[in-house]
Amino acid sequence: MSIPRRLATRLLLTALRHSSPEGQNWARAMLREMDFIGNDWAALSWALGGSTAIFKYIVRGWRAWFGHSANKEGQMDNVGKKTAWAVLGIVIAFALAFGAFGLLQLSFHFIPSLGTGGVPWLAWLVVIVLPETIFVIATIRLWQKRRPMAIGILLSAVVLATHFIMHIANHLRGQ
């Protein structure tokens, strides 16, 4: 038996072993049907899809057992709200970052000696350190009540920090 076929069999046997009686019947049926699939990689794909369906069925049963609503419409509405909050967090974070950049440009306008002296530390402080600190504080403060918004802000913080690190690495490599 090939490696993909053995992996597929083990996957469905694991699903069989860890599922409810209804799920076990389903896993046995999938194991029997897998015998009729000629291609080993197709059998692995079949097993992945089947075990995913079985485990989703198991989780749905657990959610019902613990009293969570299995209402699809309510879940979709909840996902939409979470997405809206996350997007709002991203928009707020980028507005803050652009505001910090504007503050830096304004400081160069009012204090021209800062722009000619080549003070990269001031730019790093205003454009990177200040917004990142605010992002971290906002994420911590919003985590309990508005987690999706906090995740959006945190995602923006990671993107800004990654951009900054890549910028520094590119300049250090060029010297």
Q: Is the pLDDT of residue 156 over 80?
A: yes
- 98-139: per-residue pLDDT in tens? 888 787 778 777 777 666 555 566 677 777 788 888 888 888
Enumerate residues 6+ apart whose C-beta is below 8 A from 129.
Answer: none
Measured distance CA(74)–CA(103) in Å, rounded: 43
Higher pLDDT, 73 or 132: 132
- pLDDT score for 61: 62
Measured distance CA(2)–CA(40) in Å, rounded: 7
> Across the chain, which distance is largest between two alpha carbons, in Å?
78
- pLDDT score for 161: 84
- pLDDT score for 107: 75
Average pLDDT over residues 42-70: 72
Measured distance CA(49)–CA(33) in Å, rounded: 13
Using CA of residue 6, residue 7, residue 13, residue 14, what is the dihedral sign? positive
Enumerate residues 6+ apart whose C-beta is below 8 A from 138.
Answer: 150, 153
**The model scores a pTM over 0.85:** no
What are residue 91's phi and psi, to 5 degrees? -60, -45
- pLDDT score for 75: 55
Number of Cβ within 10 Å of residue 98's Cβ equals 12
